[in-house]
Amino acid sequence: MSERRISIPWITVILIGINLILYGLETITGGSESNRVAIRFGAQYLPLVLQGEYWRVFTSMFLHFGWDHLAGNMFSLFIIGQIVEPYYGRIRFLLLYLISGIGGNLLSLFMDMGSKEPAISAGASGAIFGIMAAFLIFALDSQMRRAFPLPRVLLGLILSLAPGFYSSGINLSAHLGGFAVGLLMAFLLKLTLPQDRILVEEYEEFEE
């Protein structure tokens, strides 16, 4: 029996590191739960974006409000990233993550346009839901469906999205937007994968 090669998901590790560093900087410069600090570091806020600060759609992906917010997202990123990054490779995974996060933030901005009090928003969850969408691609792939059966994948997605429908503190638009864009990107990026790049054996441990 051959020894399984250990592949370190470096992009996942780097993304987590960036989030942790920025959280530390927020904390020492006024607190991560301060709206003033969040705005200073690049949180998304519709009036400022409309004034030309478009970069906030990107930077807000790396900021978090409070330790619970950060810990929950980084734990999810760590678990999901270990599965999705080896499948797509580093560059494709990074594209999937960033474009999903931007897509989620754009939908959040669009929804805020109908609000009299736009929210100050930040967090990696839109991007994380984007890479989570790859599980649905796995479930529909003839080589991967044994490790990722469709009923289990759908249940996991439903349970992950459900809190956003009843909790006012969760940006459901960012989650849904990130997932939708991520699903499209995961499908398109899969088409660019060489057949010998898809190693089903590495996912046997996820089978029931």
What are the residues whose beta carbons fall under 8 Å from the beta carbon of 191, sequence distance 6 or more?
none
125 is catalytic: yes
Active-site annotation holder among 100, 108, 121, 175: 175
Number of other CB atoms surrounding residue 94 within 10 Å? 16
- Of 206, 158, 205, the residue nearest 179 (C-alpha): 158
Active-site annotation holder among 100, 108, 121, 125: 125
Task: Render 37-80 in DSSP notation, one character per residue.
Answer: HHHHHT-B-HHHHHTT-TTHHHHGGG--SHHHHHHHHHHHHHHH
CA separation for the pair 153, 29 (Å, rounded): 41
Which residues belong to the active site?
A: 125, 175
